[in-house]
């Protein structure tokens, strides 16, 4: 008699989530801020809603291989729809809330999404404006609490879920059991620094493997908490908000809004906190300003404590824990009070990623006993290529390669990556896939060096400045050094095919306002203020001493406004779009080279 082998379901994020509901049904899966405080939803109810949403998608004609669009700020419905799409055999395409109507149309149309979840009438208006260009759009679902919209396309969240009553649980279970490791699980649309966004295809194996690696790297567990506030259209936030919690059974707090993040952080005091460099730079500026107000004995105490923090960081970098009376006193008097004040009182892991961060910022936090671990990667490798670890890190590096991932440096300095996290390719774009994925190696477009097992980023191939004298210069380090001044919000180095380097600078709104008030100057007059220019010139002169002559900034211009996403100068993850900056401030650039 022949033995029949039982088919084993693939290890997917969905199967892990369902297992959490079986193992710890009453444990909190996520929290939302209500009038009475933070209200939890347990794993049993979370999975129940995911299954109901999956049944609703199926009832609306969503089949294996289909994609659903999601447009809105971080909410439980965001995560539920992503997971429901996967459970129904398809994938979700996240859309940045800052996208214009035309950009929303591009992603929805390109992903061939027949169903789109939107946060409210503001996001619905973008679809409405481009309705004529979306012939395949069949249904728009509103998140909970959205103002009702009278339109044949639109369903409230409750109406949407009710559609699932016509579909059996068995249908969802069968689709989950049929999932294949190499099947598309999520579409991550790049933020488009160099052209239209491309749809990065990540498989179930990609995201499940990466989540497991992330769990191991930070020793994540079911007691962890995190605050969800960065765009969920980005793979890093999806990993920390959806995939890691599904793997560990930890809880997520959904921030009320971007404006409330600072307040929510202080209330939640998460154990794991992920921030883009701009967040850490804001913290740095705010804490620096407060510490600078200390005088006399208090100022000496702060300086002494920071010296203790620096020694502790050196020990931690080599896998050792700080001990001794000095550290204990510094912790009791300074660190244990400062950390909760900014919302990091419970944080055991702090991470920075998505863009380069200045080493000075990392060193500042290390002196305050806050180790910010820099991670490097991209959507095309599911988020991480390399990761500084709590017991093995080097400030200024982006860490050793993630275990199981191969990293090598090409002859021209480009970072090449190979591993289970490398994507399937770009959705409906074979040419771009073939340019980026060659013989199994992901060509990152970034330049780097490997030293003592740690990866260091030196620049980006497409951002290399070639001066009129033929010198190749990576602007990354220069811009990071410029931004180390608390008044500078953003810095863009100019110099391609020019005789020398110059820089466009913008001012930090909070720091500039305080600086102007102290000196009795109107904020709007600061860009032309001689006093401000003298202060910034002193900063430029000082940093120029650290760079070769050809890399020195000869001139700079303070712009009358900050760079914005609305003007297309910043991506949703706050990376600078250089092409747009060059176009929008062409007159200011030319003025620096007029003579």
Domains of the chain, earliest start first = 13-203 (3.40.50.12780), 277-346+355-422+434-461 (2.30.38.10), 464-592 (3.30.300.30)
Alpha-carbon span 208 to 130, nearest angstrom: 35
Q: Which string of DSSP letters, residue by residue, matches 451-514?
A: ETTEEEEEEEGGG-EE-TT--EE-SHHHHHHHTTSTTEEEEEEE-TTSSSEEEEEEE-HHHHHH
For residues 526-550, average pLDDT: 89
Phi/psi at 55 (5° precision):
-65, -40
Written in H, E and C, the secondary structure of 265-314 is: HHHHCCCEEEECHHHHHHHHHHHHHHHHCCCHHHHHHHHHHHHHHHHHHH
The whole-angstrom separation of Cα 167 and Cα 84 is 14
- DSSP conformation letters of 408-447: EE-TTSEEEEESTTS--EETT-HHHHHHHEETTEEEEEEE
pLDDT, position 193: 54
Q: What are the tens digits of pLDDT across the range 179-202?
A: 999 999 999 998 655 567 899 999
Average pLDDT over residues 82-107: 94
**pLDDT, position 148:** 95
**Distance (Å, rounded) from C-alpha 336 to C-alpha 318?**
23
pLDDT for 188:
97
Find the mean pLDDT for residues 62-73: 97
**For the residues 128-135, what does the mean pLDDT come to?**
94
Please report the pLDDT score of residue 170 as a whole number.
Answer: 96
Supply the DSSP symbol for 392. Answer: B
Residue 281 pLDDT = 86
CA–CA distance, 83 with 136 (Å, rounded to integer): 22
- The distance in angstroms from the start CA to the end CA of the chain is 91
Q: CA nearest 283: which of 357, 356, 393?
A: 357
Q: What is the mean pLDDT of residues 420-428?
A: 97
Cα-flanking dihedrals φ and ψ of residue 505, to 5°? -120, 145
Confirm if 243 and 236 have CB atoms less than 8 A apart.
Answer: no
Arithmetic mean of pLDDT, 583-594: 91
Whether 269 has a pLDDT exceeding 50, the answer reads yes
Indicate the range of 4-18, 23-37, 348-362 predicted with least confidence: 4-18
| Nearest in space to 11 (alpha carbons), one of 174, 261, 166, 205 | 205
Q: How confident is the model at residue 481 (pLDDT cuts 50, 70, 90)?
A: confident
Rounded CA gap, 309 and 364, in Å?
A: 10
Name the band, by pLDDT with cuts 50, 70 and 90, for residue 570: confident
Rounded Cα distance between 442 and 416, Å, is 5
Tens of pLDDT, residue by residue over 193-234, are: 556 789 999 999 999 999 999 999 999 999 999 999 999 999
- The pLDDT of residue 34 is above 80: yes
Q: Which residue has the higher pLDDT, 243 or 318?
A: 243
Q: Which pLDDT value is given to residue 8?
A: 60
Percent of the chain, pLDDT > 90? 74
Average pLDDT over residues 54-58: 98
Distance of CA 120 to the CA centre of its chain: 23
The stretch 570-574 carries a mean pLDDT of: 78
Whether residue 5 has pLDDT greater than 80: no
The predicted structure's pLDDT at residue 4: 38
Q: For residue 390, count other CB atoms closer than 10 A to its CB.
A: 16
Taking residues 528-543, report their average pLDDT.
Answer: 92
- The 8-class DSSP code of residue 168 comes to -
- To the nearest whole number, what is the mean pLDDT of the chain? 92
Side-chain half-sphere CA neighbours of 23 within 13 A:
13
Q: From CA 305, how far away is CA 311, in angstroms rounded?
A: 10
């Amino acid at each position: 008699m022949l033995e029949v082998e039982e088919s084993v379901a693939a290890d997917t994020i969905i199967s892990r989530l369902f297992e959490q509901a079986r193992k710890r049904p009453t444990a909190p899966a996520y929290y939302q801020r209500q009038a009475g405080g933070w209200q939890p939803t347990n794993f049993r109810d979370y999975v129940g809603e995911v299954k109901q949403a999956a049944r609703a998608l199926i009832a609306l004609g969503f089949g294996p291989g289909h994609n659903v669009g999601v447009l809105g700020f971080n909410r439980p419905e965001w995560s539920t729809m992503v997971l429901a799409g996967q459970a129904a055999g398809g994938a979700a395409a996240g859309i940045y809330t800052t996208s214009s109507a035309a950009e929303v149309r591009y992603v929805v149309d390109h992903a061939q999404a027949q169903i789109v979840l939107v946060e409210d009438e503001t996001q619905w208006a973008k679809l409405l404006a481009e309705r004529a260009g979306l012939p395949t759009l069949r249904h728009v679902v509103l998140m909970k609490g959205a103002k009702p919209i009278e339109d044949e396309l639109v369903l409230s969240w409750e109406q949407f879920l009710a559609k699932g009553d016509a579909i059996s649980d068995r249908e969802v279970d069968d689709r989950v059991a049929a999932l294949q490791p190499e099947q598309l699980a999520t579409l991550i649309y790049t933020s488009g620094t160099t052209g239209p966004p491309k749809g990065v295809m990540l498989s179930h194996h990609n995201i499940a493997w990466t989540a497991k690696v992330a769990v191991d790297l930070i020793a994540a567990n079911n007691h962890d908490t995190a605050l969800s506030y960065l765009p969920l259209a980005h793979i890093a936030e999806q990993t920390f908000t959806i995939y890691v919690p599904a793997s560990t059974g930890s809880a997520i707090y959904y921030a009320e809004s971007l404006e409330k993040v600072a307040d929510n952080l202080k209330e939640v005091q998460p154990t794991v906190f992920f921030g883009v460099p701009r967040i850490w730079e804001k913290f740095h500026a705010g804490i620096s300003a407060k510490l600078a107000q200390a005088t006399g004995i208090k100022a000496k105490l702060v300086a002494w404590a920071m010296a203790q923090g620096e020694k502790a960081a050196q020990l931690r970098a080599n896998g050792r824990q700080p001990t001794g009376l000095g550290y204990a006193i510094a912790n009791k008097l300074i660190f244990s009070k400062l950390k909760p004040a900014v919302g990091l009182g419970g944080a055991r892991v702090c991470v920075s990623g998505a863009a380069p961060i200045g080493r000075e910022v990392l060193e500042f936090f290390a002196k305050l006993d806050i180790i910010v671990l820099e991670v490097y990667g991209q959507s095309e490798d599911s988020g991480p290529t390399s990761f500084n670890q709590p017991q093995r890190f080097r400030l200024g590096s982006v860490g050793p390669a993630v275990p199981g991932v191969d990293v090598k440096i090409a002859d021209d300095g480009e970072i090449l990556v190979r591993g289970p996290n490398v994507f399937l390719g770009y959705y409906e774009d074979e040419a771009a896939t073939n340019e980026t994925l060659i013989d199994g190696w992901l060509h990152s477009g970034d330049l780097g060096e490997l030293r003592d097992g740690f990866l260091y980023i030196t620049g980006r191939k497409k951002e290399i400045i070639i001066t009129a004298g033929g010198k190749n210069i990576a602007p990354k380090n220069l811009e990071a050094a410029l931004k180390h001044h608390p008044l500078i919000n953003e810095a863009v180095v100019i110099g391609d095919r020019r005789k020398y380097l110059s820089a466009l600078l913008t001012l930090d709104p909070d720091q500039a306002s305080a600086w102007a008030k102290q000196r009795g100057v109107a904020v709007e007059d600061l860009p032309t203020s001689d006093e401000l220019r003298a202060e910034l010139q002193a900063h430029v002169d000082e940093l120029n001493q650290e760079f070769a002559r050809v890399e020195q900034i000869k001139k700079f211009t303070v712009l009358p406004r900050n760079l914005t996403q609305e003007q297309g100068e910043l991506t949703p993850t706050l990376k600078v779009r250089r092409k747009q900056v060059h176009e929008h401030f062409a007159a200011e650039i030319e003025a620096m080279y007029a003579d």
